[in-house]
Structure 1
Amino acid sequence: MQKIIIQSFLLLLLHQIGVAQNIKGKIIDATTQESIPYANIRVNDSENLVSNAEGFFTLSESNSSEQTKLSISYLGYANQQINVADLKKSNFIIQLVPAVYELNDVTISNVKPNPDQIMANVKANLKSNYVSDGTPSKDMVFYRRSDYFKPKTIDVEIEKSTGFTKQTLQKANADIKNFSNNLITHPPKEFTDILGNYYTTNVKKESKTSFVSKLEVLKATKLKNEGSATSSEDLEKKAMNMMLQHLDSTKYYRVKSGLFGSRDSISLRKDFNSRKNKKIGIEATNQLTSAKRNITSFLSQNNFAQTKKFNFITDPDLYNYTYEGTTYFADNEFAYVITFKPRRSKAKFSGKLYVSENDYAVLRVDYTLDEGEKLEGFNMKLLLGIKVSQNVSKGTIIFQKKSEGNGYYLQYATIDSGMYFYVNRPLKFIELAKGEKDVLSIDMKIEGNANSTTEFLNISRSKIATETIEKIKEVDFKFLNVKSYDASIWKQYNAIEPQEEMKRFKAIN
């Protein structure tokens, strides 16, 4: 009770001081008083929201009037419909009650469902449940990516740089050491939020059908320390700037690492690298192209019919399944609850599945790497001084039945991934020239972890004509760089409420 009183007071206080003029609420279990993450909040029968991992959600300004209708649903709980006026009366806390089944709603049988047969049916129905029929659609989507670079050791030393004195190299190595220590003591973080309309359709030309997607970005923010690096691209730029002090951008070099050398020529000249990338099919990308590619890839990688990543669904022979019971998820509709653990060596995950009794669609899955398991990696630590392994892979994926036609679409997903890396190698750049050559020798040892969390929410989905999609002209955008989370930026839109870690983060120049 004391916990509820404190939560209610804080929520009421935040509302009274008018944080961005938005309504903020929390969803909890009526019995245990624990927060309920990833509950679906349907707003005025038109848009979807989801409670974050801490159970919180925020309504946009336009949906904050007392008449705004909220429909809350969560597997195993009775659906609840309230309006914002009711939410205020309950001190901004929604308590969901476990569903109670009427006997005539449940099929009574002495035969316990066979989980292996259920999973066989899931696999047999993947195509009908998850493969798109090409119906043109407009989806308002919210995409958030949080990146963390956590170095444990960074020892980089320039042993030789032609044209630099010993004293100058000492100064350069001291600068590198300071930069490395700063990365270790202040591990870089970066939060990227994108809200936009994502259009998809199948276009048939000359008897060939091709997939077409377009993205219209409505709002995009990036929160990170100015001058810090989180992504591999940012770190690559910083490394390049360091080398530019020791290499001539007008010359060509060969790279040698340990016993191995490269026959390829490299240069720091932009025109050289541009020609080389074009030759091997790499084109420069703008922000829009990159964002659309990330969203399209995320949808594909988390579609059970398009990826083999989730082998606990696509290859059920690898796992042991246990039937845990049946739970309520919609009006007079139920889902099988099935847990799974590895049976064979190729199986890596454990978790829980919620499978529709009607069409054997996986409505939700919570998965994680089983204890002691790792995904694919590269371990040549002794021979080459390199080791990489993916040691974090977990997530929650929720699908929603399409209102038109058959099948399901991704409504919400939160995916955590991470890897351990170790590099302990010398690196040498040798100028391609006759006679005296420029040489840069670097000795480096780097060890640490890189992690990322990606969240996706389909806020609203509607049909649209293919001709309309074809007429849309995509326009590049620029991220709004912010130094701390500002709720007022999103006051006009329904978006995923950030967790406390993101709210507390403040950029340090």
Structure 2
Amino acid sequence: MRSIPTRFYVFLFIISCSQIYSQTVSSIIKDAETQQPIPYATVQLSNKKGVITNEEGRFTLQLDQQFKEADSLFISCMGYVGLGKPLNQFTENVILLTPKTIELNPVIVSNKQFTAEELIEAVKNNLDKNYSQNITKKRLFFRESYHQHLSKTDYTFKESTIEALNERFLDSVLHTIPKETSHYTEVLGDFYGDYNKDNQKLTLIKASELYDKQNELDLTALEEKFNDILKKNIKPDSYFKIKSGLFGTKMDADEILASAADSTDVDALKKEMEAKQKREENRKKYFASHKKRALGNIMGKLFFLEDSNLNFINKNRRYKYNIVDFTYMGDQPVYLVDFEPKRSEDYKGRLYINADDFAIVRVNYSNVKSLKTFKLLGVSMDQFLAQGTMLFAKGMNNQYKLQYLEEELGTKVRIKRPLKIIELNKHVKGRNKQNELSLKIDMATMGTSKHQIIIFDTESISSAQLEAVTENNDLLPTYMPDFDPEFWKGHTIIEPNKAIREFTSAE
């Protein structure tokens, strides 16, 4: 494992004006009493730019050419005393925030004491006032993290009439498949539009992919080996029947062998190169489109949208609510309200509701049951995890805008059933079965994905401005086999967590 230098995490201040552009402020924010990291704290430089701490309390803030020594750094988090002072007075690599003593505002005390249900009704009645669904331009950073764990890879070998397709070969197949895989994609760009997916555009500024290419190379080599075995053992006019349980699928031998083109065949090689070029063109074309679609899907989950599956406000009759506490976010009084389903809804969580304007400024939610399950003929699927956090900040027009969104999803899949691959040939007299591979497989995998979006700036734009935007579809992500702390230098992003910082490909 390649470790990251300690200096990467320490506050760094370079006073020389000629080096201002490259300056960064990096630190960890912790609770002064418990010494625990504080996630989702807001770090802002003299109301010019800001960032959110990650789940480990870490942040890095880029200082641009407009930075002045007199500029102050302001740090705030719900339930803590805010902290603000000039940058040069921050001399430690850990910043401590003190928990805030709750003193109820006399106005709040003298107001009508809301029940939880009345408070939620007030939230619902003020959705249109507090949250805009107009067309905007958002400068954002989007990180996708995916992890897969192959928990079971068992099989029972029954029969194979192709000598090369034996237990030893199948063992090598299982050995080649990685038990743990991770893939990280990061994108910085401008996201345009409203919450209608047909009315959205994305222009990319920079992107990266962090994963182990060796996993791909191993599987490619395995595929080539498998194709070579088939090419030597089957007839050109054969076809295969793949049987698993009650169903069977036919596949021509030519289809299976198509990817095993003879490199000495000039025409085949030319076609292969053309296909490779086409794939590269599609990759350029669809990378940005895929990210735009992913962002649109995630944005469509915001609770104030009528068709969101997070329906604990729009369908509030289906939930139970309980006021559990009262705190402050800066100087704003905030109710803490827990919710859970009365009957068959999917989520429970906590709402942080501004007591002055009844806006939800933060949501934490998690599923109370599997969102979807499937089981048929030895194949089962369980969407067992769906949890997230949303943070909102008040803009210049007194409406709230999304500042940070995080969601984590998890799915388990298991396949336990017989599998047969049978070669058939209609020109062979008598029984036309030529070769057969028969086994019973028992495999299980668990995949979890995490999406993080931090929005730095939001500005309203017109339909004409949206129409005039030309999407940048040519930018490809830079591949990184190991984490590179220099890649995002000059850009403010949400800090990577320990798993990303320590990621390195296998030698």
TM-score by length of 2: 0.78
**Offset of residue 263 of structure 1:** 8.2
Q: In the alignment, which residue of structure 2 is the partner of 1:276?
A: none
Whether the aligned pair in 2 keeps the contact of 1:155 and 1:444 (CA below 8 Å) is yes
Q: In the alignment, which residue of structure 2 is the partner of 1:216?
A: 203
| 2:90 matches 1:87 | yes
The residue type equivalent to 1:62 in the other structure is: D
In percent, how many aligned pairs have the same letter?
25
- Partner Cα distance (2:350, 2:322) in 1: 9
User: Secondary structure of the equivalent of 1:462?
Assistant: strand
Whether the aligned pair in 2 keeps the contact of 1:113 and 1:323 (CA below 8 Å) is no
Q: In the alignment, which residue of structure 1 is the partner of 2:76?
A: 73
The residue type equivalent to 2:370 in the other structure is: K
The residue type equivalent to 2:318 in the other structure is: L
Whether the aligned pair in 2 keeps the contact of 1:142 and 1:496 (CA below 8 Å) is yes
The residue type equivalent to 1:340 in the other structure is: F
User: Secondary structure of the equivalent of 2:213?
Assistant: coil
Whether the aligned pair in 2 keeps the contact of 1:11 and 1:91 (CA below 8 Å) is no
Whether the aligned pair in 2 keeps the contact of 1:157 and 1:442 (CA below 8 Å) is yes
Give the counterpart of 2:403 among 391, 411, 416.
411
**Offset of residue 411 of structure 1:** 1.2
Q: In the alignment, which residue of structure 2 is the partner of 1:194?
A: 187
Q: In the alignment, which residue of structure 1 is the partner of 2:447?
A: 450
User: Secondary structure of the equivalent of 2:84?
Assistant: strand
Q: In the alignment, which residue of structure 2 is the partner of 1:361?
A: 359
Whether the aligned pair in 1 keeps the contact of 2:403 and 2:454 (CA below 8 Å) is yes
In structure 2, stretches of 5+ residues that fail to align are 1-5, 15-21, 260-270, 272-281
Cα offsets for 1:280-323 (capped at 9, x unmatched): xx999621111111112111123441544224333333332211
- Partner Cα distance (1:250, 1:75) in 2: 70
Change over 3 Å in CA distance of 1:128–1:486 after alignment to 2: same
| 2:163 matches 1:166 | yes
Whether the aligned pair in 1 keeps the contact of 2:239 and 2:251 (CA below 8 Å) is no
The residue type equivalent to 1:481 in the other structure is: Y
Whether the aligned pair in 2 keeps the contact of 1:398 and 1:412 (CA below 8 Å) is yes
What are the within-5 Å matches in structure 2 for residues 1-80 of structure 1? 14-15=10-11, 22-62=24-64, 66-80=69-83
**Offset of residue 94 of structure 1:** 4.4
Whether the aligned pair in 2 keeps the contact of 1:61 and 1:491 (CA below 8 Å) is no
- Partner Cα distance (2:171, 2:197) in 1: 55
Q: In the alignment, which residue of structure 1 is the partner of 2:276?
A: none
- Partner Cα distance (1:494, 1:288) in 2: 20
User: Secondary structure of the equivalent of 2:448?
Assistant: strand
| 2:412 matches 1:420 | yes
TM-score by length of 1: 0.78
**Offset of residue 39 of structure 1:** 1.0
Change over 3 Å in CA distance of 1:321–1:151 after alignment to 2: same
- Partner Cα distance (2:249, 2:125) in 1: 48
In structure 1, stretches of 5+ residues that fail to align are 1-9, 203-208, 272-281
Q: Give the structure with higher Rg (CA).
A: 2
| 2:294 matches 1:302 | no
> More displaced, 72-81 or 414-423?
72-81
Give the counterpart of 2:371 among 371, 375, 385.
375
**Offset of residue 194 of structure 1:** 1.0
Give the counterpart of 1:261 among 227, 248, 270.
248
What are the within-5 Å matches in structure 2 for residues 73-472 of structure 1? 73-88=76-91, 90-98=92-100, 101=103, 103-104=105-106, 106-109=107-110, 112-130=113-131, 132-134=133-135, 137-155=136-154, 165-180=162-177, 183-184=178-179, 187-200=180-193, 211-228=198-215, 244-245=227-228, 255-262=242-249, 267=255, 286-331=286-331, 333-344=332-343, 346-370=344-368, 373-380=369-376, 384-404=377-397, 407-428=399-420, 434-435=426-427, 436=432, 443-469=440-466, 470-472=468-470
User: Secondary structure of the equivalent of 1:452?
Assistant: strand
User: Secondary structure of the equivalent of 1:314?
Assistant: coil
Whether the aligned pair in 1 keeps the contact of 2:134 and 2:194 (CA below 8 Å) is no
The residue type equivalent to 1:219 in the other structure is: K
Change over 3 Å in CA distance of 1:446–1:168 after alignment to 2: closer
- Partner Cα distance (1:254, 1:390) in 2: 31
User: Secondary structure of the equivalent of 2:214?
Assistant: coil
**Offset of residue 28 of structure 1:** 2.5
The residue type equivalent to 1:417 in the other structure is: L
User: Secondary structure of the equivalent of 1:335?
Assistant: strand
**Offset of residue 245 of structure 1:** 4.9
The residue type equivalent to 2:146 in the other structure is: D
Whether the aligned pair in 2 keeps the contact of 1:143 and 1:195 (CA below 8 Å) is yes
> More displaced, 491-500 or 390-399?
390-399
Cα offsets for 1:158-183 (capped at 9, x unmatched): 8677xx73245345313203214xx2
